Copies of this chain bind each other. A is one copy, B any other.
């Protein structure tokens, strides 16, 4: 599995390259669009990751050129811009995914896996936590083998939870993930969707997976995995000292 990265900042992508290397990807790294185009003339890649702000050519122009010369390699854009205008431009130029900087390594990894999965098949394209399974590509979600029907917002929330499982996600993060910073509704909506998600998960026996971290946000965990570590009546994830357990809807 071969990846080409075009990014002028070698330090930032250094870690990404390191991580990908460990996942048995072969990574080439260039700093200019020119070099990237050149390499594409001679080699095939399974994925192309690029920033938009390359010095010699606007990122979307590079993408357009690649697509014009019939390069079908999936393209992932790395950028600090979150405006939908830029995103749309990137997508319409031919990008397949768009990740905002600074990015979370494991989230990027998951997305990369989703984009490269086709080429060699066998790798795991799915995100799993306990009985929960989510397919990034087909956007299907199942719990204990039962497929759930989720609305787009519900899916988007669950996707972020899975992409960054084990991390506390603030409502801000959800808003940003769901709306990309444009026409954002009230924050209160997030807990409405969380509530609906919880109920749907519960229907098929996946309880206590989304935990509230009071004053911060929400976190996704496999209750079976975490309760093993702690014994007595402690709650799934934040067993309490004195008394009160973490509140879990249900």
Contact = CB atoms under 8 A, between A and B. Distances in A.
A12 B119 contact: yes
Contacts of A9: 1-2, 26, 44, 46
Interface of A: 1-2, 8-12, 15-16, 19, 24-26, 40, 42-47, 51-53, 55, 69-74, 78-86, 100-106, 116, 118-123, 137-140, 142, 145-152, 166-168, 176, 180-182, 199-200, 203-204, 213-216, 219, 226, 229-230, 234-235, 237-242, 244-246
A143 to B, nearest CB: 10
Nearest to A227: B147
| Copies of this chain, tallied across the complex | 2
Interface of A is mostly: loop
Contact of A101 (B25, B73, B85): B73
Given A8-B43, A53-B42, A122 B105 contact: yes
A11 B150 CA distance: 36
Contacts of A82: 70-72
B167 A46 contact: no
Given A12-B2, A152-B214, A74 B46 contact: no
A17 to B, nearest CB: 11
A117 B245 CA distance: 31
A118 B138 CA distance: 28
A129 to B, nearest CB: 13
A11 B2 contact: yes
B72 A100 contact: yes
B149 A239 contact: yes
B72 A121 contact: no
Nearest to A86: B70
